[in-house]
Chain A
Amino acid sequence: MSAITFKTIGIGVTFSPNLEANINEAARLALCFGSKLVLIHVGESSEKKSNTFRTFLSPFENQGLEYELFYKSGDPVDVILTSTKEKKIDLLIIGALKKENFLKYYLGSIARKITREASCSVLLLINPSIDRVPCKHIVVNGLKDPKTKETVNAAFLVGHKLGVGKITVVEEIDQEEVSVKVDDDKSLRKSTIIKERLRLREEARVKKVLDSIPADYTKNITIKSQPIFGKRGYSIGHYAQVARADLLVMNAPSKMTFWDRLFPHDIEHILTELPTDVLIVQ
């Protein structure tokens, strides 16, 4: 089993109204996972800036947080991507923006670029808060994909560390897989049978994945497996929203081409309308 761990957590910081909340969230997570926190700031280093960061971090420092401040000027996307590699960051935290007056979140263009190109796992936070908001329900994808095993593992790791009560593994069944088109009662019966078969097959597969999770990770966690019918990669976000999940854990996208961005699919949809906090596991 490839043990996924988050040894170093990175976060890009700017002086925005969300600064304190972002730092608090990141520091809390770092404490939870027992990892080192790296604050990346795009710009010149100055005593004043460092002081501000330190004041925010001091309560966590008392609890044993190890951290590092990292300054570098240049193009934000480049800076963050290169420093991730330099500092061997394996979880990058990015804060999302909130649309005015709407309960909708989206990623800024910089954040989006970073997400697409980052070589490490990325956590997108839609609603960073200064005080801790408990995470109760995690939704994780159970796609038929080599990466899925690791992703589910990560979900359980996070769930275990954060004391999550429930984890739902969602298998997305594409309509195309149900090869029968429903026209009348007969084809409807046929398609219902095929769907049931698909559902059983998917469930068996997910069960196999779940079996490989270390037992102490699954302790005290209700595990649910839910097949959904919808567009792959998109509907899971929709489901997370409907199921009021606090965190959505997903596979990192496979290689993106220009066309993928023009005709958004999979993760691109999620990026345009973040349903919840999203963890993309690399």
Chain B
Amino acid sequence: MRAKEPSFVGFMKTIPKNIFSGLVVSLIALPLSLGLAMASDAPPIAGVITSIVGGIVVAIFGGSYVTISGPGKGLVGVVLVAVSTLGLTTTYAAIICSGVLLLILGFLRLGKLADYFPSSAIQGVLAAIGLIILGKQFHIMLGNKIVRDNTIDYLIAIPETIMNVFQYEDSGLINAAIAGFISLIIMVFYSKIRNKYLQLIPAPMWIVICSIGFSYYCEFVLKIPNPISEKYMIPNIPSLTEVMGNLPVPNFKAIYSLEFWGSVVALTLIASIESLLSIKAVDKLDPMKRRSNVNKDVKALGVATAVSGLLGGLNVVTVIAPSSVNITNGGSNRLGNLFHALFLMIFILLFSTELTRIPLSALMAILVFTGYKLAAPEMVKRVFLIGKEQLLIFLTTLLVTLKIGLISGIVAGLIITFIIHVIANNSLGLFIKNIVKPNVLMYKEENGNYFISVKHFCSFLNFNKLKDKLSVIPEQNDVIIDFSLCEFVDHSVMENINDYQELFYKKGGNIGVIGLEVLATKSEHPFALRRLLPLQNIIPNNKTKRQNNLEQVAHDFGLSFTPLRRTKNAFLENFIYFKTKKIEHVFNRLSAKKHPYQLFDIIYSEGEFIAKEVIRSTMLYIKTSANVPVFKLDREGLLERLYALAGYRDIDIKNHVDFSKRFYLRGENERDIRAFFTDELVLFFESNAYYHIESSKDGLLVFSKERIASIKEIKALLDFGYRLNAIINKS
């Protein structure tokens, strides 16, 4: 499966879509940039400068496709420390140096630095950063600006701050706290509401719009000054000309001090880790399944960081939440990143004074939510499920990062992981003797499969050797990884292999892992089988009322009911609808062996990180013969007309004005689609309830809403599907 060769015409066609996605991305990037910069004790405009420089430079020089670059959440902790110990101008110098360092890393092809860190330790560092952000900003969100020595003290003070809110004398502070609280509510509940108009604007932008609207409402309707305390409003934002006029002069005086270089290294390390993790996650979401050139991207990020530092911005990294928004909104190449930067520039040009109407507490609510997402209890639970020792690694890294610092935290994570591995194997020799050995063998078998055999041990220490081999295999191939000559395989490796498995699976290949059983039986190996298998329903008899009803429906329609989860659902991956979404699993399936129908509840997610939305829905899949053209049929609404402006074409069927007006029909092959939509079929659609209908090459997907359907709706859906299939088979 080759990606289409880019042609000029094809490229021109992508422009409108990317302008659109760039616009939506800029809406989420603006509040995030402001907030992240303020959280790092830098002037708010620094964040926007970072996004603009990052967007332009990385769009031009980068090696990834749909990523968005800007200020990173992970760097908040590092910049915060740098600003407090070195001062702002010296921090700019450190940022410039770290940009150069990143560039060098890119040239040395060390962009994959993150591969050498055990994944639980990385999780620990990220959680610590989350707590740093959350701990500090929580107080500002509730109108209680306090200064403490370290993050743990900030966290301890949280209950106190909550108590304080109820004792505020100053109404300005109370209002600030209310604004913060409402914003947090918006962030939390936004993803739960499925409304396409509401969802068009990302939650952080809603907060901005609401606060600016409220401020104008007070000024012009109530004719009172803004009731939120002056101290809790965003300080003055300079216009673009002012920014260019007063460029900060980076202070390189501290260049010979250890602290300076400590900051440079920490900035570089965290920037590369965050970017790499994001690129990896974004590549998984890319509907065109392209492979990002990581080293090229790291080089571009390095250049962007250096330029950004010169202009008074922060480190540029690949940011996950805006990137996922870019994909969801149809961004298809680096133009999305470029346009997001241009839109941000326009915002600052036109609305820089408007932005000062945003309460600081509201902005910080976005960051509190971001921090919470990084350190959420689910993360801890996930790590714990993998193994107790992983939790130990996680917590050690977390605590050391909080107590001492980021670099110490990562080093501690590395050391504790290694110690645990040594204890688990009861052998230090295994690692010392074999670490430099080229322990991975790859060859192509006669039938075209790739066979990889790994010897001795495979852990975060030498995973790069296995990775080097895996990354040179075209993803359409079948690969067998044999661990039977291996004495030890650690969790980081299993997790990474799992990522590769997903990647291969998506592109039509397959990775089989064999030989782990040997490990498990030889000794009770603590890591070998530490694979995150989805927990199957343990007691299938324990059915809910809905499941009992579903069983009844299945019986009525001559189908059988299975409540068990299924995670591999290749037939769904072919649908356009799921191209930008991640399917978790399907469950409560109604199917029968000889029937073409399959009805199921499904859980899938859209977007990543704070822009992640988990959606539950009920869908009907009908297996059809191969001559149904690929199309997508929806109810036509305002949004669809908007999409049409962005370059998505609506196919009209001749002589059916009503149908063409009410339905929004899309597909590549117009001629076949027109031929397929016979009068009878059109009439059928006109006279029945609306469903979202999509066809892949050999199947139809029918569903109505992005939520779990009731029993009544399921009956209607099944009935609709049966009749639809009958008509299709007739023609």
Please tell me which one of the listed residues A183, A185, A231, A241 contacts residue B3 in the complex, with CB atoms under 8 A apart: A185
Select from chain B the residue with minimum beta-carbon distance to A269. Answer: B437
The yes or no answer to A239 lying at the interface (CB within 8 A) is yes
Chain B 474-515 interface mask (CB, 8 Å, partner A; 1/0): 100000001001000000000000000000000000000000
Question: Contact between B293 and A183 (Cβ–Cβ < 8 Å)?
Answer: yes
Select from chain A the residue with minimum beta-carbon distance to B477. Answer: A192
Question: Contact between A183 and B63 (Cβ–Cβ < 8 Å)?
Answer: yes
Question: Contact between B472 and A238 (Cβ–Cβ < 8 Å)?
Answer: no
The yes or no answer to A182 lying at the interface (CB within 8 A) is yes
Please tell me which one of the listed residues B439, B443, B471 contacts residue A239 in the complex, with CB atoms under 8 A apart: B443
Select from chain A the residue with minimum beta-carbon distance to B445. Answer: A226
Which residues in B have their C-beta under 8 angstroms from that of A75? none
Most buried by B among A235, A239, A241: A235
The yes or no answer to B292 lying at the interface (CB within 8 A) is yes
> Nearest-CB distance from B490 to chain A (Å)?
20
Question: Contact between B453 and A234 (Cβ–Cβ < 8 Å)?
Answer: no
Question: Contact between B290 and A185 (Cβ–Cβ < 8 Å)?
Answer: yes
> Nearest-CB distance from B227 to chain A (Å)?
54
Q: Answer whether A227 and B474 are a contact pair too, CB < 8 Å, given A184-B291, A188-B291.
A: no
The yes or no answer to A220 lying at the interface (CB within 8 A) is no
> Nearest-CB distance from B358 to chain A (Å)?
40
The yes or no answer to A242 lying at the interface (CB within 8 A) is yes
Which residues in B have their C-beta under 8 angstroms from that of A263? 436
The yes or no answer to B329 lying at the interface (CB within 8 A) is no
The yes or no answer to A212 lying at the interface (CB within 8 A) is no
Question: Contact between A242 and B482 (Cβ–Cβ < 8 Å)?
Answer: yes
Question: Contact between A238 and B453 (Cβ–Cβ < 8 Å)?
Answer: yes
> Nearest-CB distance from B501 to chain A (Å)?
18
Chain B 437-462 interface mask (CB, 8 Å, partner A; 1/0): 11111111000000101010000000
Which residues in B have their C-beta under 8 angstroms from that of A239? 441, 443, 453
Question: Contact between B63 and A230 (Cβ–Cβ < 8 Å)?
Answer: no
How many angstroms between the C-alpha atoms of A235 and B443 in the bound complex?
A: 10
Q: Answer whether A228 and B471 are a contact pair too, CB < 8 Å, given A184-B291, A238-B453.
A: no
Question: Contact between B440 and A230 (Cβ–Cβ < 8 Å)?
Answer: yes
Question: Contact between A241 and B485 (Cβ–Cβ < 8 Å)?
Answer: yes
Among A27-61, those with CB < 8 Å from B are: none
Please tell me which one of the listed residues B290, B294, B438, B485 contacts residue A242 in the complex, with CB atoms under 8 A apart: B485
How many angstroms between the C-alpha atoms of A228 and B441 in the bound complex?
A: 7
> Nearest-CB distance from B116 to chain A (Å)?
18
How many angstroms between the C-alpha atoms of A263 and B437 in the bound complex?
A: 10
The yes or no answer to B169 lying at the interface (CB within 8 A) is no
Which residues in B have their C-beta under 8 angstroms from that of A185? 3, 290-291
The yes or no answer to B295 lying at the interface (CB within 8 A) is yes
Q: Answer whether A234 and B294 are a contact pair too, CB < 8 Å, given A185-B3, A241-B485.
A: no
Question: Contact between B294 and A183 (Cβ–Cβ < 8 Å)?
Answer: yes
Question: Contact between B441 and A230 (Cβ–Cβ < 8 Å)?
Answer: yes
Which residues in B have their C-beta under 8 angstroms from that of A192? 472, 474
The yes or no answer to B149 lying at the interface (CB within 8 A) is no
Which residues in B have their C-beta under 8 angstroms from that of A181? 109
Which residues in B have their C-beta under 8 angstroms from that of A199? 444
How many residues of chain B have a CB within 8 Å of chain A?
29
Please tell me which one of the listed residues A175, A184, A238 contacts residue B290 in the complex, with CB atoms under 8 A apart: A184
The yes or no answer to B468 lying at the interface (CB within 8 A) is yes
Which residues in A have their C-beta under 8 angstroms from that of B443? 226-230, 239
Which residues in A have their C-beta under 8 angstroms from that of B485? 238, 241-242
How many angstroms between the C-alpha atoms of A187 and B436 in the bound complex?
A: 27
Select from chain A the residue with minimum beta-carbon distance to B507. Answer: A185
Which residues in A have their C-beta under 8 angstroms from that of B468? 175
Among A180-217, those with CB < 8 Å from B are: 181-185, 187-189, 191-192, 195, 199
Most buried by A among B295, B453, B468, B485: B453
Please tell me which one of the listed residues A189, A191, A195, A242 contacts residue B441 in the complex, with CB atoms under 8 A apart: A242
How many angstroms between the C-alpha atoms of A131 and B163 in the bound complex?
A: 85
How many angstroms between the C-alpha atoms of A238 and B451 in the bound complex?
A: 12
Among A3-36, those with CB < 8 Å from B are: none
Please tell me which one of the listed residues B3, B292, B437, B469 contacts residue A234 in the complex, with CB atoms under 8 A apart: B437
Q: Answer whether A188 and B472 are a contact pair too, CB < 8 Å, given A234-B437, A238-B455, A242-B482.
A: yes
Select from chain A the residue with minimum beta-carbon distance to B471. Answer: A182
Which residues in A have their C-beta under 8 angstroms from that of B438? 230-231, 234-235
Select from chain A the residue with minimum beta-carbon distance to B442. Answer: A229
> Nearest-CB distance from B543 to chain A (Å)?
47
> Nearest-CB distance from B618 to chain A (Å)?
36
How many angstroms between the C-alpha atoms of A125 and B668 in the bound complex?
A: 66
Which residues in A have their C-beta under 8 angstroms from that of B474? 188-189, 192
Select from chain A the residue with minimum beta-carbon distance to B64. Answer: A184
> Nearest-CB distance from A106 to chain B (Å)?
11
How many angstroms between the C-alpha atoms of A178 and B295 in the bound complex?
A: 18
Which residues in B have their C-beta under 8 angstroms from that of A183? 63, 293-296
> Nearest-CB distance from B598 to chain A (Å)?
33
Which residues in B have their C-beta under 8 angstroms from that of A227? 443-444
Question: Contact between B63 and A191 (Cβ–Cβ < 8 Å)?
Answer: no
How many angstroms between the C-alpha atoms of A110 and B28 in the bound complex?
A: 70
Most buried by B among A199, A230, A231, A241: A230
Question: Contact between B442 and A230 (Cβ–Cβ < 8 Å)?
Answer: yes
Select from chain B the residue with minimum beta-carbon distance to A234. Answer: B438
Which residues in B have their C-beta under 8 angstroms from that of A231? 438
Question: Contact between B63 and A184 (Cβ–Cβ < 8 Å)?
Answer: yes
> Nearest-CB distance from B37 to chain A (Å)?
32
> Nearest-CB distance from A230 to chain B (Å)?
5
Which residues in A have their C-beta under 8 angstroms from that of B292? 184
Chain A 222-247 interface mask (CB, 8 Å, partner B; 1/0): 00001111110011001101100000
Select from chain B the residue with minimum beta-carbon distance to A183. Answer: B293
Which residues in B have their C-beta under 8 angstroms from that of A242? 441, 451, 453, 482, 485
Which residues in B have their C-beta under 8 angstroms from that of A195? 472
Which residues in A have their C-beta under 8 angstroms from that of B294? 183
Which residues in B have their C-beta under 8 angstroms from that of A226? 443
Question: Contact between B472 and A182 (Cβ–Cβ < 8 Å)?
Answer: yes
Chain A 138-177 interface mask (CB, 8 Å, partner B; 1/0): 0000000000000000000000000000000000000100
Question: Contact between A228 and B442 (Cβ–Cβ < 8 Å)?
Answer: yes
Which residues in B have their C-beta under 8 angstroms from that of A178? 472
How many angstroms between the C-alpha atoms of A184 and B439 in the bound complex?
A: 25
> Nearest-CB distance from B440 to chain A (Å)?
7
Select from chain A the residue with minimum beta-carbon distance to B487. Answer: A102
Select from chain A the residue with minimum beta-carbon distance to B3. Answer: A185
Q: List 9 A-B pairs, Cβ < 8 Å.
A: A175-B468, A182-B471, A188-B472, A189-B474, A229-B442, A235-B441, A241-B485, A242-B451, A263-B436
Q: 11 extra interchain contacts, Cβ-Cβ under 8 A, other than A175-B468, A188-B474, A238-B441? A: A182-B472, A183-B295, A187-B293, A192-B474, A199-B444, A228-B441, A228-B442, A229-B443, A230-B440, A230-B442, A235-B438
In the A-B complex, the 8 residue pairs with the closest CB atoms: A231-B438, A228-B443, A184-B293, A183-B293, A238-B441, A230-B441, A242-B453, A235-B441
B residues sitting closer than 8 Å to A (CB atoms) are: 3, 63, 109, 290-296, 436-444, 451, 453, 455, 468-469, 471-472, 474, 482, 485
